């Protein structure tokens, strides 16, 4: 069995800056997130869980493109809830609209847009990436396994969102419904959000290790990023190690679990990837000697 141990790089903010220098200050208040490439792979900064006014957020979809570029992201996915439309009096209930708008806005920009949707008809939420018909009514089914199957039938990559949310986990631990073990065993669930926003659930690493789930950390942003992120508080992102800067390579990397989650002052991933990233982040220089 593939060695799949996890390490937590518990690094204080000041040390993090010294080692990886992930932030580069720009004219705006929000610094860019930057990490170096590792041998053989591009390090892509990704947020695979965002929302717009087409579900329950407060911004127009194209704003997510501007925010992503300002923060140095390489990959985003617009994952509006497919069954939840609190603004339907004003905004059409069309789950394809936000994807279409954001795809057009990202055209000719250095940003990879992954089509997706949040399938959240019950308190168990999942994101389905790489799907092409977010209006499929089966995605709204109240039985998680049925809506997950509908996403998989569209060729979706499905991950479990915020498994430790207090709405479903009163003690902060992620309870696993019986059927979920089967879904994970069958490969119907491909990944898990170990971090969502500022929340981190270390116990989810056990599930990830046991079922070979891809580690993900995303913002789940509903508001305006400029107000949410400051030089002291960055967006939670997933670092994806991709062979090429293409959607296909992003998918290949996700399917082969080549990710590290950057959440608060934590970098979470396999020892192998963490070692490669931290090594690539080091700069060694000789001291200047004044004669
Ligand atoms: Zn959710
Ligand atoms: Zn969400």
Nearest ligand to the CA atom of 79: 2
**What pLDDT does residue 91 have?**
94
**What pLDDT does residue 51 have?**
97
- The parts of the chain modelled with pLDDT lower than 70 are 1-30, 166-175
**What pLDDT does residue 13 have?**
30
Nearest ligand to the CA atom of 218: 2
Cα 31 to middle of ligand 2, angstroms = 24
Q: Which two tokens stand for residue 85?
A: 């439309």
Cα 36 to middle of ligand 1, angstroms = 30
Whole-angstrom Cα distance, residue 163 to residue 238? 17
**What pLDDT does residue 173 have?**
61
Cα 81 to middle of ligand 2, angstroms = 7
**What pLDDT does residue 22 have?**
53
Cα 169 to middle of ligand 1, angstroms = 14
Nearest ligand to the CA atom of 49: 2
Q: Which residue has the tokens 């220098």?
A: 21
Cα 279 to middle of ligand 1, angstroms = 35
Nearest ligand to the CA atom of 47: 2
**What pLDDT does residue 53 have?**
97
**What pLDDT does residue 175 have?**
62
For the chain, which domains are there?
Answer: 7-281 (3.20.20.140)
Instruction: Determine how many CB atoms are found less than 10 A away from the CB of residue 120.
Output: 21
Cα 185 to middle of ligand 2, angstroms = 24
Cα 5 to middle of ligand 1, angstroms = 28
Nearest ligand to the CA atom of 80: 2
Cα 52 to middle of ligand 1, angstroms = 13
pLDDT digits (tens, 9 = 90+) for 102-152: 999 999 999 999 999 999 998 889 999 999 999 999 999 999 999 999 999
Cα 198 to middle of ligand 1, angstroms = 14
Nearest ligand to the CA atom of 120: 1
Cα 104 to middle of ligand 2, angstroms = 22
């Amino acid at each position: 069995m593939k060695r799949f141990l996890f390490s937590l790089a518990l690094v204080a903010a000041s040390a993090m800056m010294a080692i990886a220098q992930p932030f580069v200050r720009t004219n705006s208040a929000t610094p860019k997130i930057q990490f170096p490439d590792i041998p053989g792979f591009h390090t892509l900064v990704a947020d695979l869980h965002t929302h717009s006014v087409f579900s329950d957020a407060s911004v127009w979809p194209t704003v997510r493109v501007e925010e992503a570029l300002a923060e140095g992201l390489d990959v985003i996915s617009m994952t509006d809830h497919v069954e939840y439309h609190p603004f339907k009096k004003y905004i059409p209930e069309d789950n394809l609209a936000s994807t279409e708008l954001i795809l057009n806005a990202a055209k000719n920009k250095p940003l990879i847009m992954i089509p997706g949707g949040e399938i959240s008809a019950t308190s168990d939420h999942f994101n389905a990436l790489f799907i092409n018909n977010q209006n499929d009514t089966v995605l709204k089914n109240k039985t998680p396994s049925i809506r997950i199957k509908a996403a998989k039938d569209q060729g979706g990559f499905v991950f479990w969102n915020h498994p430790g949310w207090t709405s479903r986990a009163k003690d902060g631990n992620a309870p696993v419904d019986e059927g979920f073990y089967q879904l994970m065993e069958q490969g119907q669930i491909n990944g898990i959000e170990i971090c969502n926003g500022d929340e981190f659930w270390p116990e989810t690493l056990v599930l990830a290790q046991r079922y070979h789930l891809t580690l993900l950390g995303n913002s789940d942003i509903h508001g305006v990023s400029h107000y949410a992120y400051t030089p002291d508080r960055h967006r939670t992102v997933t670092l994806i190690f991709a062979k090429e800067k293409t959607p296909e390579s992003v998918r290949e990397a996700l399917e082969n679990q080549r990710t590290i989650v950057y959440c608060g002052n934590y970098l979470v991933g396999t020892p192998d990837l963490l070692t490669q990233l931290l090594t690539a982040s080091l700069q060694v220089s000789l001291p200047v000697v004044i004669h």
